[in-house]
Amino acid sequence: MSNKLRILVEQEISSKVQEAECVIQTSVEMNLTDILTSIRAIAGVTIVNLIGSSRKLTEYKAIAYLKIKFVPLGASSDTFIKSLVNHVRGLQGVYSFQIKNVENLASKITRKKKHKEATKNISVTTNTGV
């Protein structure tokens, strides 16, 4: 594959990557790492990160916050998200799974860069000593 073609493919794929903030409730008897591994095995899911640590809600149930990066393969984002939710809810040991927010990763990175630049510009203007 030529370098130009590879760059175009990478740009196209990176523009499709989505990041979802999720809440999952699981059985305390199931290993959370095994559940996260099962989520990672879902086609289109690229990265699953545990945010903080899980905590026990009841004697039988734990809650955890996740960030899941995915590329909606062969479907619209909405269709892929519905399929992802149904798939995760069907995993052994999962009581509940909700997606709280979904954002295009490229848009998120751009937004953070703009915010960082704006913050940098504010600190430069306020530290001038005038």
Assess if residue 10 is contained within a domain: no
pLDDT tens digits, one per residue of 21-77: 999 999 999 999 999 999 999 999 999 999 999 999 999 999 999 999 999 988 788
Query: Do 105 and 69 form a contact (C-beta atoms < 8 A)?
Result: yes
User: What global pTM score does this model have?
Assistant: 0.75
Assess if residue 71 is contained within a domain: yes
pLDDT band of residue 3 (cuts 50, 70, 90) is confident
Assess if residue 6 is contained within a domain: no
User: Phi and psi of 44, rounded to 5°?
Assistant: 100, -25
Whole-number Å distance between alpha carbons of 13 and 57: 38
- Domain CATH code at residue 49: 3.30.70.1150
Assess if residue 83 is contained within a domain: yes
Give residue 84's domain range: 16-104
Assess if residue 87 is contained within a domain: yes
Q: How many domains does the chain have?
A: 1
Whole-number Å distance between alpha carbons of 103 and 16: 10
